[in-house]
């Protein structure tokens, strides 16, 4: 038996889906009993040169998919909100199953669209919206049945991970970005990735899936990678760390905290070894401890593979996790770590300015784990006893604070450092 599919979009993701469905159709039928057939492909330009042969299937009229009763599954690979939202909503209202890789759409309208899907008795699947080829949403659905998870975090944007990998190899931010654009990992306007929007949308989806709560993406603290200077990358490497754009969410007793921000990761950790466009996602639970899932997070075939996996689940009536309840949540801005990287310029020259900074740090019960001083600049990794906001406020009285980044702390950090002893001497 054949199942007719309407594919919306034939860009990078849509091309990957088209290739996989057409090359693996026989194997999908053997596993599910259904042979997938792409009946129509929605594109803007009917005459544009394509990477695949879709002759006879192309249309620029969405009604040829949305109003075709033979088409039972719609795969949305357009991206963005408009017109994707309108198309997906109409497809669901028409009783069609929908699969999407659109993280912004799901992060902003997932609850509404999910309610429509439940009302109409169809599936809205979005595995490819997070983690590329990593089947993380499926894994979460399984694990939450037997365990209580309290933390999720990791690298969820392949473009920024590629840029930071290249910066770690000595390239400038501009050089690394240009290379990512040439390879098709970054758009001509890279703000969606480098300013953390993409990662924040994905984190919103993960929070809903892991904790069963809805956190508006607009209130999740977000910082991009543009603030990272080459001197920060070099200093981090010297001290045994690498920069990653880290998305995280932690569940406390009565509230949830989350954020997306550049973070220093110890070079001996598994996350620091995740290079290029690869993604890595950490799940922590009370029974299973910690799982780390690693896979490609960008490109036509990894994302296309995740979409086809959702298609297979629909064809075999996979229902696990399809009715998870989403509720509101008490959200607070907190940190997952008490360790921070700081870079500042002294307001006074050399030793006098440094003396003021060190005395202030000691007075605030802050321990210095790593440090470097030269000219009128001071850089350090500090462990804060209290809030980092309080420390920043104090430091800004005696110095110009140029950068503050979180640090994923190493185990067994020394309780005292040589620099702390120097504070006492001074």
Closest by CA to 366, choosing from 404, 400, 411, 332, is 404
144 is a catalytic site residue: no
Specify the residue for token string 């028409």: 94
90, 202, 223, 244: the catalytic one is 202
Annotated binding site for NADPH: 103
Annotated binding site for L-homoserine: 187
Annotated binding site for NADP(+): 8-15
Annotated binding site: 8-15, 103, 187
Distance of CA 186 to the CA centre of its chain: 15
Task: Write out the catalytic residue numbers.
Answer: 202
């Amino acid at each position: 038996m054949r199942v007719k599919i309407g594919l919306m979009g034939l860009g990078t993701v849509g091309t990957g889906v088209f290739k996989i469905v057409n090359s693996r159709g026989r194997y999908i039928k053997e596993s599910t009993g259904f042979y997938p057939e792409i009946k129509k492909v929605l594109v803007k330009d009917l005459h544009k040169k394509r990477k695949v042969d879709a002759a006879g299937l192309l249309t620029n009229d969405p009604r040829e998919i949305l109003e075709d009763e033979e088409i039972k599954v719609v795969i949305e690979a357009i991206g963005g909100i408009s017109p994707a939202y309108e198309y997906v909503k109409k497809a669901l209202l028409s009783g069609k199953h929908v699969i999407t890789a659109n993280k912004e759409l799901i992060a902003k309208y997932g609850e509404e669209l999910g309610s429509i899907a439940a009302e109409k008795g169809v599936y809205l699947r979005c595995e490819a919206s997070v983690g590329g080829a990593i089947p993380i949403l499926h894994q979460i659905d399984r694990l939450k049945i037997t365990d209580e998870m309290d933390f999720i975090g990791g690298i969820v944007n392949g473009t920024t991970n590629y840029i930071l990998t290249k910066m770690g190899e000595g390239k400038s931010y501009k050089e690394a970005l240009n290379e990512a654009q040439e390879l098709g990992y970054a758009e001509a306007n890279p703000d969606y990735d480098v300013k953390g929007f993409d990662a924040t949308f994905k984190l919103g989806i993960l929070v809903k899936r892991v904790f069963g709560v809805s956190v508006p993406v607009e209130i999740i603290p977000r910082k991009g990678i543009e603030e990272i200077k080459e001197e920060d990358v070099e200093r981090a490497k010297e001290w045994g760390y690498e920069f990653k754009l880290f998305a995280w969410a932690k569940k406390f007793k009565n509230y949830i905290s989350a954020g997306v921000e550049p973070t220093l990761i110890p070079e001996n950790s598994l996350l620091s070894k995740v290079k290029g466009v690869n993604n890595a996602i950490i799940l922590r639970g009370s029974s299973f401890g910690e799982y780390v899932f690693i896979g490609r997070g960008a490109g036509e075939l990894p994302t296309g593979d995740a979409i086809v996996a959702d298609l297979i689940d629909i064809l075999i009536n996979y229902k696990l996790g399809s009715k998870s309840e989403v509720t509101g949540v008490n959200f607070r801005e907190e940190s997952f770590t008490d360790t921070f990287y700081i870079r500042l310029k002294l307001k006074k020259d050399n030793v006098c300015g440094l003396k003021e900074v060190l005395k202030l740090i000691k007075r605030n019960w802050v321990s210095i784990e790593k440090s470097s001083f030269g000219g009128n600049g001071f850089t350090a990794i500090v462990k804060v006893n209290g809030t980092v906001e309080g420390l920043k406020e104090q430091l800004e009285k005696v110095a110009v604070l140029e950068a503050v980044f979180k640090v994923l702390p190493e185990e067994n950090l020394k309780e005292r450092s040589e620099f702390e002893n120097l504070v006492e001497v001074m």
